[in-house]
Amino acid sequence: MSSDFWFLDREHKQCGPVGEDEFVRLIRKGMIGRETQIWTAGMSEWRIAGQVERFAPLFGASGPGVSPTAALSVALPVWGLFGRSLLLWIGLLLIIPSPWTGTWFYKWLCERIALPDGRPLKFAGQPGDIWYVFIAWSVSIWIGQFPYGGADQFHYGELVTIPLSWILGVLFLRWICAKVGTEDGTVRLSFEGEYLPYIGWNLLLMISVITIIGWAWVAKFMMQWICRNVRGTAEFDFTATGLSILWRTLVALLLSILIIPIPWVMQWYARWMISQVSVVKASPA
């Protein structure tokens, strides 16, 4: 399907074409509603925006009987996610640009996620907030690659860099949660998880890899622990099962071996993971 869309305004005048990123922005601003008719190449006829799978989650849950516990919605363009992910890794490898590329990526990602009632998230983080975390992450990537005692020897640098990355992970989660909110200012969050439990979960996840499949259930409970330690005017849970994590991860790895499907695999996996985060308490709109 083409990434260029046409839509009908309130006077049924044809508008467009607009790219997918711009289309999502117009939905966020309320200029394109659930009942707006849209069309793009590949569609046999004009369709209501709220019935198009890739955009329906942006309009949030509606109607009587909607459960107060509902999943986050997300709209991630394939090439937008792939390009920014690539730039994120380039920034980490080059070290100095990492605070800028990292902040840009997470701002872009957060602002494509919406609460179940349709309110989009906003991200107020700046490169200078935790620049030292990004720099330390970047340096640890390089240190972890240096072998000692020969090229075929164990990378002893990982004995330092792996625990360091877990400590940095807590600082990162606290930064993300503190900087995420909504346009109306009613969502205020903080991450209350402590260092030792987070390190413990990561250590357990690393050890569980030897069981071949057990790591997926550890990952599930670790994600639940992370989500349940996000506190504030909204609270969250992680609903994926260990089996669903296992088979999706294996499929993603197998398809990634083919190289070409990687951008689509990234989008598929990221959208699914985010959709497994449910809001169990939310501030009123």
Reported as a pLDDT band with limits 50, 70 and 90, residue 64 is: very low
- Whether 7 contacts 40, CB under 8 Å: no
Domain co-membership, 119 together with 147: yes
Residue 150 has pLDDT above 70, yes or no: no
Percent of the chain scored above 90 by pLDDT? 57
Last residue of a domain, one of 18, 38, 59: 59
Q: Looking at the domain assignment, is residue 65 inside a domain?
A: no
pLDDT tens digits for 228-268?
999 998 899 999 999 999 999 999 999 999 999 999 999 99
Domain co-membership, 80 together with 44: no
Cα torsion angle, 72, 76, 82, 86, sign:
negative
Q: Looking at the domain assignment, is residue 223 inside a domain?
A: yes
Percent of the chain scored above 70 by pLDDT? 86
Average pLDDT, the chain: 86
Question: Radius of gyration over alpha carbons of the chain, in Å?
Answer: 21
Domain co-membership, 190 together with 122: yes
Domain co-membership, 115 together with 253: yes
What residues make up the domain containing 277? 70-281
Domain co-membership, 46 together with 75: no
Domain co-membership, 19 together with 121: no
φ, ψ for residue 87, nearest 5 deg: -65, -35
Pairing between β-strand 70-71 and β-strand 47-48 as defined by DSSP bridges: unpaired
pLDDT for res 63: 43
Residue with tokens 């990561």: 202
Reported as a pLDDT band with limits 50, 70 and 90, residue 285 is: very low
List the structure tokens of 93.
């490898």
Residue ranges of the alpha helices (H) in 95-182?
98-110, 131-143, 158-179
pLDDT tens digits for 31-46?
787 778 888 887 877 8
β-bridge partners, 47: 38
Read off the pLDDT of each residue in 38-62 and give the average, rounded to a whole number: 74
Residue 204 has pLDDT above 80, yes or no: yes
Task: Indicate the pTM of the whole model.
Answer: 0.76
Q: How many domains does the chain divide into?
A: 2
Domain co-membership, 167 together with 262: yes
Reported as a pLDDT band with limits 50, 70 and 90, residue 51 is: confident
pLDDT tens digits for 152-197?
555 566 677 889 999 999 999 999 999 999 888 889 999 999 999 9
- Whether 259 contacts 70, CB under 8 Å: no
Cis before residue 17, ω within 30 degrees of 0?
Answer: yes
Domain co-membership, 119 together with 249: yes
Read off the pLDDT of each residue in 88-117 and give the average, rounded to a whole number: 94
